[in-house]
Structure 1
């Protein structure tokens, strides 16, 4: 076979594969495909230096890794705000349209799988990264190359990030589990777990056998000039990617609800698991105008499908002690299958809820589960009681350490700081992504280190030695060094991350940033009156900080001394015309509104998304719309971009 004929056969093989895997419209028999495949493979075996970059033979995997490396997304991958009913959708629409006016929404199914970011450069797939924490994920390119619906090359010269969901079709999932059962392997709980587990195989040939499918739903880095997201996605589909079975542009709540109800009706017919519908503002400029919160874009949300209800029985109530000492009751129920997941536990939140719902051990109950939401009991079927049910009493002793519990009514707490459950859960929280992000320190490792007496609190992590770990099963030289390096690499982290990692009740990332900026290392001695005046900090949060610092004052100081966190200094803006003023930006300007917003905030201005009587200035560029009109009608001062810069 000549090189020219080989290239022709590769092109034909790719055409047949695309028709089968992407268009779901085979144009060749399996026998013809297999015969041509082996002709191509024979040529490549004889001429290894001439193998085409995008040859279908590269889909079989075979690359074996020791571990996955981390990789950074060019643009962040965001989470989504969840809404659960028509009223919440309307509230979300009202918030959006209050800021940008009436608009169209690009609606499509929300598949339940593993999020993936594909990076192409010069038309070639160069990297595939899991979502991770949105900024950094795991690089799984070798595994993703085995997915038939992911093009290895595309007709696009620049740099582009194509985001989507890796899923397993429901019938393929059943077949995979049947094969695992036959081979005596443990079964996957649901298609999403199967997809995520398949992507994390160190041997890519195993991934190749798992029948994974990739559906794109968005973009990161790109230079596409289309005005609408739906137009950009049409272009992505034209590059050879799978198109979702349904997608629609909708205006207003009625069209959105009609499409949503249609998807629910088609739920069983669509071959992939769906847990809702995604709404996105379609116009890219309006997306940018709306911007982002700390957690998610303001221009998109997930309209989740109704929760699925099942009837089961409570076999027992067990108690869990969290990192702050709160004792949470958990219902151990007779296992019940909900959308492919075997559910055997349900949350009860607290003992007030047990009393309010009059829950007994032995009761028949209705539980619900929606997407990732932990199953919960919504109703006790009292008419099914036969007298054998047992009432649940409020505990007085910690189930883990036996110390006396503090009963605050809604919350029951273990006050013993050395209670092993408190220690384990606090360390797990400390190490997780979003906190100190200690790679390799998962819950099982934490439990082992505490059980072996190697650590007893988060501070002990920083004094673990190589010889402390070398006797543990599964800990070889490379793994030990990687873990120790990951722990030491957290020294010097921003102070807010350390505060967030401490697990102060009611204090998350946003509050931690505000506290770190206001007090620095002096947070340990901050007074109530100083904390309560911080924007966004309420009475309960302030008291929680005070109580934590009172109980753990010396321990926190030792943490500061060991970790040496970076303290960001609060910079007081110099006097200028915008300091302390509320400003709204609208229209197209000489640079991105995000850059101008940052500049004004550094000057001490508060940049708002909507115009009101409290607005001090509306700064406008070309094609300014309703915000400028509203400012003029309210008598709010308006400035062109040039006038703003002139004032500075």
Structure 2
């Protein structure tokens, strides 16, 4: 191999490495890579004066440091202010818009790892420095060079600081802990700790063995001319760095929220751990004008994910039967305090999830609690199994009535219409507030009615008489009559409440209103194509509705005959007026209930939305209007008080 061939070989190896470690798209086999790598290594050993700074051989960690020296960042690495919900975000946006109204935002993941600052001079990586206190960190360049996703050389020749997070992918984290368990070493608590610990190893060969990944999130000192941060980051990625799983530029609250929801929803599917989303003003000039507080930049914020994770143990898996007959598994776990709440149950969603995650009784698991949602198992710590774990066997009979279960793969269903769990749960739901709102039909009374044989289905409720009720223990004349009066008052309810009360799987309040508006009583004859054509109704919902109607058509018609629910009035298309087709936000205290004003505006063809954005046409405000009014003023949205709104309506 001569010098020219050596340079080409180094270039080829770096191309292989870039595709493998950055793009996850291998161009060759390990055998081909290793052969070429050793040819390069052989040449370098004979020609040390020709060794290229970009050679992959310069990554190999084989030195042991006595300790790390301190090094200053060229520009400070700031920490970010945190926000935790949409209200906090709105407040931050209001403050930011007061500094500059003509801005957009760049959103990217907030990685859960260890911050690192890279300094390149004349296109060569010269320094790798930990965050430290933001001004001074530890110089760990030798370790940094072992990270395959960090280019040793880049095309950009001016001095530049590239900031990012060093992470360990979840799959790699599991392998590391399995290896540590075999060696009877202490396990890492999470990938973040593993990444930070690996990055600061005095023996760089250990760092090299951990498969760390560097993900850029910004720049420090630089002479880049791009006017937008998003453009600067595009340029950084073009230098050979790994891109994030999701990033976006947004114009305001609604778009930011949409990206946040997408990132939060998909976070478990990403290879790395995330703990939120970072939002930055995209315009560099505006960033400079906004500046910094003592602690944080004014132009950036971390929007944290609302979740807390803990490790616990699965004690038992029990079964619940819902009103539709669907049998769902629930994990009973050792009591675990998560953010002040003692958790004893975790949802398992369905039986496929048990199989997919290989969840066993007595397994150690990581559970995640998000808001008020029932916690779920997100990971089984298989490396901590000691042989006491027991595989869970898929049930074949209903836990309540013992009848054979229908196995639909993901779902198991009890088909016994007289199953106590099905009847009792369906009646309780039928009588609940979002449905027919029948007072007096609590759990104990429904159980008493069922166990006595007086009620074996929802329809039987309307065959009850005073004489029948007085046969039940605890029922006196007044209590019995009150229940009969409540059953009578359920008649003539709005039609959407009737649909909702049927307890059709996947059909809730919103879908019930949609079906009622589009079809009324004709929903039982609607085709799949007609149902799917409704706004917000998908195929799964349509199929569930069609199956329910097929099985329960006679019951639906009988209940409709008894209850006589009110068919929805067909709203005529609004005449031309200032609010027709406009997006309107209501805020503050009005002279009449806001729902009534909402109804009036909707009858005029307005669309009532909950948050203010550049797309909002009007904000109608009352007393104590608050942040929505402020944001509207900042964005230049037309604001009307109640009197001005009524004036526009009268002029129409």
Return the TM-score normalized by structure 2. Answer: 0.49
Q: Which has the larger radius of gyration?
A: 2
Return the TM-score normalized by structure 1. Answer: 0.49
